[in-house]
Amino acid sequence: MEKRTPDAAIAEAMNRVLAAEREAAEAIAAAQRSAESVIESARIRRRRILDTARRRATRMHVLGQSRLAQALRDLEGDSGGPASDIDTLRSLARDAIQNLARRLTSVDHEPH
């Protein structure tokens, strides 16, 4: 059995500790690089999602504006004037009020 001196045993233990610290530092650095890569990928994905959402919102806005403009043209194009179909408007308003009253007074608040 080999007998080591206390100084040699201490030096060997210190070398093991230093090696473990180096390995830990390398593992931490690798984890940081991996995390930075994941974060950058998430940022790229977020940018793509935001761009897609903006394009969709713009298309929806344009479509809504187009439909609104068409509805306004249709209303302005009615040659009978605003009083020409007052009975239809009254009927629609009466139906809407009745439907609203029914929904507000129903137990489950669902349209019937």
Report pLDDT digits (tens) over 57-101. 999 999 999 999 988 888 877 655 555 578 788 888 999 999 998
* Ordered alpha helix ranges (H), 1-112: 6-76, 86-105
Q: Which residue has the higher pLDDT, 110 or 65?
A: 65
Radius of gyration of the chain (CA): 38
pLDDT at 18: 97
CA trace torsion 99, 105, 111, 112 (10° rounding): -90
